[in-house]
Amino acid sequence: MSATTMSGEPISATTAAEHGVDLLQGDTGEWELVVGLEVHVELQTRTKMWCGCSTDFGADPNTNVCPVCTGQPGALPVVNEQAVRDATLLGLALNGEIAPICRFHRKNYFYPDLAKNYQISQYDVPLVNDGWLDVEVPTGDGQSVSRRVRIERLHMEEDTGKSLHVGDTGRLHGADRSLIDYNRCGIPLLEIVSRPDIHDADTAQAYLRELQSIVRATGVSDARMEEGSIRCDANVSVRRPGDELGTRTEIKNLNSIRSLGRAIAYEAQRQIGVIEDGGTIVMETRHWDEGRGVTETLRVKESVTDYRYFPDPDLVEITSPAEKVEAIRTLLPELPAASRARLGEAGVTPEQAAAIIATGLLPWFDDAVAAGADGAAAANWLVGDIAGQLSAEGLRIEAAGLTGAHVAELIALIEDGTLSTKLAKQVVAGVIDARGAKGPAQVAEDQGLRQVSDEGELRTIVEQVVAANADTVEAIRGGNDKAIGALVGQVMKETRGQADPRKTNELLREVIG
Amino acid sequence: MALSADEVRHVARLARLALTDAEVEALAPQLSQILAYAEQVGEVAAQDVEPTTHPFALRDVSRPDEPQPSLPREDVLAAAPHAEQDRFGVPRIVSEEG
Amino acid sequence: MVLTRLSAVELAQKLRTKDVSAVEVVEAHLERIAAIDGVVADGDVWRAVPADELTSRDIHAYLHVTAAAAREHAADVDRRRAAGDDLGPLAGVPLALKDVLTMRGAPTTVGSRMLEGWLPPYDATVTERLRAADLVVLGKTNMDEFAMGSSTENSAYGPTRNPWDLGRVPGGSSGGSAAAVAGLMAPLSIGTDTGGSIRQPAALTGIVGAKPTYGTVSRYGLVAFASSLDQAGPFARTVEDAAHLQTLIHGHDPRDSTSITDTPADLLTTLRDGIDGLRIGVVTELQGDGYEPGVRRVFEQALERFERLGAKIVEVSLPHAGYGLPAYYLIAPSEASSNLARFDGVRYGLRVDAPTAEEMNAATRAAGFGPEVKRRIMIGTHALSSGYYDAYYLQASKVRTLIARDFASAFEQADVLVSPTSPTVAFGLGDKTADPLAMYLNDVATVPASLAGTPALSLPAGTAEAPDAPQATLPVGLQIMAPLLRDDLMYRVGWAFESDLGFTPIPAGDTAVEVA
Ligand SMILES: [Zn+2]
């Protein structure tokens, strides 16, 4: 591509050295990796970008369609005002400058899932310019380093329909025909273009994760990669340190943050290999094959793509006067960086804080703390056992009916000795089974799950166990302290696992003497 | 400027028009003549002039984010040259998306 | 009383007093259509006979006649009138709709094979408003394919003939709508004007046609040619009828982002106020060489008439008007190349089968579009393409700014501007089809107002001979251009001129269609 951005300015990239990132070692010397990311976010407005059709995900094919979004002759677009507000809010969250006047252009290309055969997008004057994002990149030793990635622009556009490829393979290649559903066509889409300021796969992944968290914090989208509500393409090139930017390839089909990292690492090595073998990098789009772990040529451009951008005469300019921008700024929620700081003060470890934010559990954390839970304990349960059980069940926390109050209740039951950690995990399972219709205390009561910590009751059981295991008792008295574990196990068995382990231990020692 | 036959074919590819050789041969001089006429706009000194895309400087036209009824699917698919599984059918797609 | 000769206002009056019924009015028009237009008059929707079966006596103004729906609507209007319902001022008056506006219940073809038989799933805003006002739609009229042309010879369904002389064109692209009104097959019709497509056919068929201020009539449901220029407007045989019809269709539409929110001018209150003391600007650049002698003579007489009526003639200049046509032939095809991309054989209209989607698109477009449409798509695609955009599309858009500025300063010196509508009278069928550029020159006087967005009206100013027929009597049109949103002023000037002239806009003579 040309060495200028869409707004016509020269492309500027940072260097690996500025970011303290190691260079890549090739056979002929060192290489610097240069990556820029294009992220698409589907907005969660109620209606599409240009028409009043619903944006519901998963509706029957071609039921959320009208003359506008199916490109019927004579139909005209009208901007969804909420989409502009959402885009502005996200732009502010990304530290961007909101353009006082912006407009829409047509990007002309033929594709069956694009009903008008042009996409309404923004070109030389996008809504948002010059943002940035500070991302925390883990260094592998439990610590992290902060790197700033500049954002060139954020612009508004529309999504395309979905093609179902019918034939042998179900994939595009090998299909004998395709069937188009325009439900998704016209859903508001934001494109966020980073500067080529990324020099390793870890930073790319951290950037995408941070962006996803910010999108969720602002509430403009659920940003789910698996449902396509956030998508990422990577522009990858390599160069000798100090050289001009190398020819880049664009990698598509990155379906997870993990594939983003793998694909960048693979593509960097591939490009270095090609150049070191005397070849040249071809500007092209490459497809990431997750199964085989390789990128493949998707399209060799026979002629340079020519989108023939021009201002859409069906739409008018959008202005963002300072008052409007400031009013939207007041709607900015706490952003992940601030949340991380706050969680740290509440005693949550950085890893857990990152996990809580990335998985969207912050509201549950806040609710639990508001209901009296200790921050560290709430974080432990949320990203530990609760997340584990939900993931095993394939459920999202809201679908499971778990609330922050439930978490607080659970922790209180542990703290007052009613539940052991082990029992508490069973209680979590019970709450999930009931989809939240029963809280932890109710589940514990219904299932008779409570620690036996009443001293009189426990002492009787301990005495019975000691009497029935004379050999073991002898061994302990003879100095085999570890053998006490077997007696604890016996007590647990007698109490169906509900004995308080600490107290059991104490009583055993006391009775054995 | 005069358009060559190859340039005509290039433009036809962009416009997704299958032109016969005869059409290409006929179009090259016609398009060249029309462009030569249209190129008169270049005689106007307009470096500092803002382009006009609308006679009226309307701004900020938008609609509230309120759902409106969609069309019945039958009405939309009725006009489709090929419909299958409630979708619009097309032959095998060879190129990749823009 | 011959109902088809009456104006809309006269018909409305007789309908109001129940001298005639809406059904009778519709039947009279259907009868005339069946007699002279070349339609197969049976079934609910009558179809025009195929192009190769049309005779040289068939006007071929209509592509489809919605006979059953028109009769039903008329009967309903009569019922409601009998019941004492409060009806609109033109309720029960029939009209014809250019086949570029969508209407449920009949095909919308846009004069193209691409959309042959297409039944639109929705109504255009203009269609909705006309129906709400109880005007009875007689049918959809012939046009140059996708409104690209100045003679209606680019229709895929055969050319329309000029009722004044069946060997001549009615102008275009709204030639069918103009011929329907001039040929007494409707008192009113709707056309669309992008660079002159209402005004030029109005001039060539001796009737009134107006392009309203851009943005005052909704484009929702108007199959786009050039979005920043397209505007629907009225055809009628009198200025007053045209003002009434425009009143029914203009006004803000939230479905069109370019629709102006201001209340449009009241076109009727000041209609008869006269023009005493008004300054009428004659545009230096829109006269002289290139205009036929007959046209120039009639225009000179028109200026004298204005002076007699108390107006002051002033000479004004639109210095960039000469660049209007070159700019137009870059801007309009550029927008068209994008607007017409949606015709790809996937969702509606024609499909030509091929092994791949890409080949299917290309083959469908090759078969579905006619030569002029292909030419303009090619010009527009080239003008927007990488490396040419700045010199073509962008430069043309800047010239457009300069032309709009020219108009603004001219309107400081004059209240309205006038020029001949067309440099020629109606020309012969086939005379200009071989030379695209010669055809484009028809729009030289109408394009500047299109680029500036200003309202412009064409009305008959007299008749003249043709260069190829010294004995011919063919109408000559006068164009009146007014400042943005001052559509009222052009109607007022037009009405004063028309009342003084006393022109009878009904063709007569050996070559003309029979006058019933
Ligand atoms: Zn829609």
What are the tens digits of pLDDT across the range C303-332?
A: 999 999 999 999 999 999 999 999 999 999
Q: Is the ipTM of this complex over 0.95?
A: yes
| End-to-end CA, chain C | 11
Contact criterion met (CB below 8 Å) for C133 and C211: no
Rounded Cα distance, A329 and A218, in Å: 11
Check residue A291 and give its pLDDT.
93
Residue B70 belongs to some domain of the structure: no
Cβ-based contacts of A74 with chain C (< 8 Å): 101-102, 120, 124, 219-224
User: Which of C21, C150, C151, C197 is the catalytic position?
Assistant: C197
Does residue B36 form part of some domain? yes
Torsion of CA A410, A416, A421, A426, to 10 degrees: -50
Amino acid identity of residue A58, one-letter, is: G
Specify whether the CB–CB gap between C173 and C152 falls below 8 A. Answer: yes
Which residue did the predictor score with more confidence, A12 or A393? A393
Distant-in-sequence, close-in-space partners of A512: CB < 8 Å, separation ≥ 6: A466, A473, A476, A477, A484
Q: How many residues does chain A have?
A: 513
Q: Is residue B72 part of a domain?
A: no
Contact B55, C452 (CB under 8 A): yes
CA–CA min distance C258, chain A (Å): 6
**Could you give the angle at the alpha carbon of A82 between the alpha carbons of A77 and A87, nearest 5°?**
100
Using an 8 Å CB-CB cutoff, list chain C residues near B75.
121
Hey, what domains does chain A have and what are their CATH numbers? 36-233 (no CATH), 336-446 (no CATH), 455-512 (1.10.10.410)
Which 3 state secondary structure label does DSSP give A39?
strand
* C-alpha span between A149 and A13 (Å, rounded): 10
C98 labelled catalytic: yes
Residue type, A144: S
Whether C197 is a known active-site residue: answer: yes
With residue A321 as reference, give the H or E element that holds it: none
Residue B40 lies in a domain: yes
By Cβ distance, the residue of C346, C385, C401 closest to B88 is C346
Pairing of strands C279-283, C416-420: parallel
Cβ contacts below 8 Å, chain A against chain C, sum to: 100
CA distance to partner chain C, nearest, from residue B57 (Å)? 9
Q: Give the dihedral sign, CA C257/C263/C267/C273.
A: negative
**pLDDT given for residue C47 in this prediction:** 97
Pairing of strands C456-466, C208-211: antiparallel
Q: How far apart are CA A27 and CA A127, in angstroms?
A: 45
Task: Examine residue B9 and state whether it is found in any structural domain, yes or no.
Answer: yes
Q: Which residues of A touch B53 (CB under 8 A)?
A: 311, 313
Helical axes A501-512 vs A484-494, angle rounded to 10°: 120
What is the DSSP secondary-structure string of C68-114?
HHHHHHHHHHHHHHHTT----TTTT-EEEEETTB--TTS---TT-GG
Residues 89-148 on A with a CB inside 8 Å of C are 106, 108, 110, 112, 115-118
Residues 6+ apart with CB under 8 A from C134: C73, C77, C87, C88, C90, C91, C92
Decide: A88 and A98 in contact? Cβ < 8 Å: yes
Instruction: Say how far apart CA A238 and CA A507 lie, in whole Å.
Output: 68
Question: How far does the centroid of ligand 1 lie from the alpha carbon of residue A188, in Å?
Answer: 12
Are the beta carbons of A47 and B68 closer than 8 angstroms?
Answer: yes
Chain segment A446-503, per-residue pLDDT in tens: 988 887 767 778 888 888 888 888 888 888 888 888 888 888 888 888 887 778 888 8
For residue C275, the 8-state DSSP code is -
pLDDT recorded at residue A423: 86
Closest by Cα among A357, A367, A311, A308 to A336 = A357
* Domains in chain B, number: 1
Task: Note whether C374 contacts B: Cβ–Cβ < 8 A.
Answer: yes
Residue whose structure tokens are 């019709």: C189
What pLDDT is attached to residue A175?
75
For residue B30, the enclosing domain spans 5-44
Structural domain includes residue B16: yes
- A 10 A CB-CB count for A25 gives 10
C38-60 residue pLDDT tens: 999 999 999 999 999 999 999 99
> From the list B16, B67, B84, which residue is nearest A46 (CB)?
B67
* Residuewise pLDDT in 10s, chain C (516 residues): 799 999 999 999 999 999 999 999 999 999 999 999 999 999 999 999 999 999 999 999 999 999 999 999 999 999 999 999 999 999 999 999 999 999 999 999 999 999 999 999 999 999 999 999 999 999 999 999 999 999 999 999 999 999 999 999 999 999 999 999 999 999 999 999 999 999 999 999 999 999 999 999 999 999 999 999 999 999 999 999 999 999 999 999 999 999 999 999 999 999 999 999 999 999 999 998 899 999 999 999 999 999 999 999 999 999 999 999 999 999 999 999 999 999 999 999 999 999 999 999 999 999 999 999 999 999 999 999 999 999 999 999 999 999 999 999 999 999 999 999 999 999 999 999 999 988 999 999 999 999 999 999 999 999 999 999 999 999 999 999 999 999 999 999 999 999 999 988 787 766 777 765
Q: Is residue B27 situated within a structural domain? A: yes
- Give residue C187's pLDDT: 98
Domains of chain C as residue ranges with CATH: 3-269 (3.90.1300.10)
Element (H, E) at A150: strand A144-158
Other C-beta atoms lying within 10 Å of the C-beta of residue C342: 23
Task: Judge: C400–B80 Cβ closer than 8 Å, yes or no.
Answer: no
Pairing of strands A318-319, A310-311: unpaired
CB pairs under 8 A between B and C: 188
The ranges of chain B with pLDDT < 70 are: 1, 96-98
Coil, strand or helix at A234: strand
Q: Which C-chain residues 421-460 have CB contacts (< 8 A) with chain B? A: 436-437, 440, 451-454
Q: Which of A70, A73, A115 shows the shortest C-beta gap to C115? A: A73
> What percent helix, strand, coil does chain B show, rounded to 5?
40, 10, 50
| CA gap C465, C474 in Å, rounded | 6
Nearest-angstrom CA–CA distance, C380 and C364: 19
> Quick check: A105 pLDDT over 50?
yes
Q: Please state, in angstroms and rounded to a whole number, the distance separating the CA atoms of residues C284 and A62.
A: 56
- Structure confidence at residue B97 (pLDDT): 61
Burial code (b: 16+ CB inside 10 Å, e: under 16) for C469-492 equals eeebbbbbbbbbbbbbbbbbbbbb
Ligand 1 centroid to residue A68 C-alpha, Å: 5
**Tokens standing for A67?**
């003359």
Q: Where does C36-76 show beta strands of DSSP type E?
A: 39-40, 46-48, 62-65
Tokens 């150049």, residue located: A275
In whole angstroms, give the CA distance from residue A114 to residue A162.
Answer: 9
Outline where C183-292 has alpha helix (H).
Answer: 199-205, 239-249
Alpha-carbon distance C415 to C417, whole Å? 7
pLDDT of A168 strictly over 70 = no
In this predicted structure, what is the pLDDT of residue A471? 86
Helix (H, G, I), strand (E, B) or coil at A288: strand
pLDDT at A2: 41
Q: Which chains touch C (3 or more CB pairs under 8 A)?
A: A, B
Phi-psi label, residue A346: left if phi above 0, alpha if psi -120 to 50, beta otherwise: alpha
> A395 near A429, Cβ under 8 Å?
no
A493 Cβ contact partners less than 8 Å away, ≥ 6 residues apart:
none
Contact at CB, A310 and C120, closer than 8 angstroms: no
* Residues of chain C with C-beta less than 8 angstroms from the C-beta of B14: 381, 385
From the centroid of its chain, how far is CA A324? 30
3-state class of C40 per DSSP? strand
**Does the active-site annotation cover C227?**
no
Q: CA–CA distance from A360 to each of A216, A339, A387, A400 (Å)? A: 7, 12, 11, 14
- The answer to whether residue B75 sits within a structural domain is no
- Give phi and psi for C161, each to the nearest 5: -105, 150
User: B15: domain CATH number?
Assistant: 1.10.20.60
> Strand A79-80 and strand B62-63: pairing?
parallel
| B61/A78 Cβ within 8 A | yes
- Cβ of A79 under 8 Å from any chain C Cβ? yes
Tokens standing for residue C440? 């484009």
Residues of B in contact with A182 (CB under 8 A): 88
- Does any CB of chain B come closer than 8 Å to the CB of residue C329? yes
Secondary structure string (H, E, C) spanning C308-359: HCCCEEEEECCCCHHHHHHHHHHHHHHHHHHHHHHCCCCCCCCCCCCCEHHH
Q: Residue A338 is encoded by which pair of tokens?
A: 């601030």
Whether the CA torsion B53, B57, B60, B62 is positive or negative: it is: negative
Ligand 1 centre distance from Cα of residue A6 (Å): 29
**Cβ of B80 under 8 Å from any chain C Cβ?**
yes
- HSE, side-chain direction, 13 A CA sphere, residue A356: 31
Higher per-residue confidence, A506 vs A28: A28
Mapping DSSP to helix (H, G, I), strand (E, B) and coil, where does residue A358 land?
Answer: helix
C249 closest CA partner among C294, C286, C214, C217 = C217
Examine the pLDDT at A300 and tell me if it is beyond 60. no
pLDDT of residue A484: 86
